[in-house]
Amino acid sequence: MLNKLTNLTKTNNKESKKDIQLDLSRIPRHIAIIMDGNGRWAKKRGLPRVAGHREGMKVVRKVVKRANELGVKALTMYAFSTENWKRPKPEVEFIMKLPEQFLLTYLPELIEENVQVRIMGEKKGVPSYTLKAVHEAVERTKHNDGLILNFALNYGSRYEITQAVRQLASEIEEGKIKSEEVDEKLIGSYMMSSEVGDPELLIRTSGEIRLSNFMLWQLAYTELWFTDVYWPDFTASDLDQAILDYQNRGRRFGGV
Ligand code: FPP
């Protein structure tokens, strides 16, 4: 089934009309996004870095809306990494207030749109007001069955894998599982994202071409899509373009 969508897409810095035809029967089930470039977006405008994060928060809302319209089942958004604590304290505090602000502003709409809010990451170190806001949203959306909006907050992939290995080792020690029972499926079930599964598509904005400790286990067969666009400038059309490019790639999973 081909659905013709007409969107405004940026071409050579000029807004021009471009037809994006997406095959709605092949929409990626799970999309993971590294939202990068907030600081540079702000700097370019002579604004403080946090202005970029504030703008980035609004883009999260727009992307959730578009993903939901297209039938995406899960979106995992990298909101704060275990390495982001190295940033200046006021910036960290600002980012930690964003989930609360985001949910205060948009939770009623998200509930209306049948979205389920989730969180993955290490809780230790995250301020209690941040956790409270997210947990309340998780609770209030737990009976929904639409798109899963999964915030990676204080998340680091190596930390996640280390926790999984530790948990497995202790269960082997306790005799609950045998070492020969350890396979990829079992390891995957110990990952924080086990509920949403592996992403089919990863998007990273801002021109950086690296994974920055994000979902290293889960991205083994994921299609990677990079754009120079800074996250606060990312639009629904950019999401469509990423999905179109994904649909034009041949996924062979190591086969022929
Ligand atoms: C990376 O850009 C961005 C972050 C570390 C923060 C991401 C947070 C948001 C987009 C808002 C999240 C919203 C919610 C609802 C939690 P950067 O600061 O590293 O940009 P730079 O590389 O240009 O400096």
Give the nearest ligand 1 atom to 153 CA: 16
Largest CA-CA distance found in the chain, in angstroms, rounded: 63
Is the residue at 3 inside a domain? no
**Cut 0.85: pTM above it:** yes
Task: For the chain, 256 residues long, give each residue's pLDDT as a single digit of tens.
Answer: 444 444 434 433 444 446 789 999 999 999 999 999 999 999 999 999 999 999 999 999 999 999 999 999 999 999 999 999 999 999 999 999 999 999 999 999 999 999 999 999 999 999 999 999 999 999 999 999 999 999 999 999 999 999 999 999 999 999 999 999 999 999 999 999 888 999 999 999 999 999 999 999 999 999 999 999 999 999 999 999 999 999 999 767 677 6
Is the residue at 162 inside a domain? no
Is the residue at 165 inside a domain? no
Give the nearest ligand 1 atom to 208 CA: 22
Cβ of 33 closer than 6 Å to ligand 1, yes or no, is no
Helix (H) or strand (E) segment spanning residue 150: strand 148-155
Q: What is the pLDDT of residue 256?
A: 67
Q: Answer for the pair 70, 146: CB distance below 8 angstroms, yes or no.
A: no
Is the residue at 20 inside a domain? no
Q: What is the pLDDT of residue 251?
A: 67
Helix (H) or strand (E) segment spanning residue 178: none
Q: Which two tokens stand for residue 237?
A: 């059309």
Q: What's the 55 CA to ligand 1 centre distance in angstroms?
A: 10
- Spatial distance between the Cα atoms of 37 and 131, rounded to a whole number of angstroms: 25
If one counts the domains in the chain, the total is 1
Q: What is the pLDDT of residue 172?
A: 97
Is the residue at 228 inside a domain? yes
What does R_g of the chain's alpha carbons equal in angstroms? 19
Q: Which domain holds residue 218?
A: 27-157+198-247
Among the listed residues 38, 68, 84, 150, the single catalytic one is: 84
Among the listed residues 36, 233, 238, 240, the single catalytic one is: 36
Q: What is the pLDDT of residue 15?
A: 43
Is the residue at 7 inside a domain? no
The CATH number of residue 127's host domain is 3.40.1180.10
Is the residue at 34 inside a domain? yes
Helix boundaries (H) for 6-88: 38-44, 49-70
Is the residue at 1 inside a domain? no
Cβ neighbours, 10 Å, residue 248: 8
CA-based end-to-end distance of the chain = 25
Q: What's the 232 CA to ligand 1 centre distance in angstroms?
A: 9
Q: Is 38 a catalytic residue?
A: no
Cβ of 222 closer than 6 Å to ligand 1, yes or no, is no
- Spatial distance between the Cα atoms of 27 and 72, rounded to a whole number of angstroms: 6
Q: What's the 84 CA to ligand 1 centre distance in angstroms?
A: 10
Q: Is 12 a catalytic residue?
A: no
Cβ of 156 closer than 6 Å to ligand 1, yes or no, is no
Cβ of 72 closer than 6 Å to ligand 1, yes or no, is no
Mutate to test the pocket of ligand 1, among 49, 62, 94, 95 (most ligand atoms within 8 A of CB): 95
- Nearest residue by C-alpha to atom 10 in ligand 1: 56
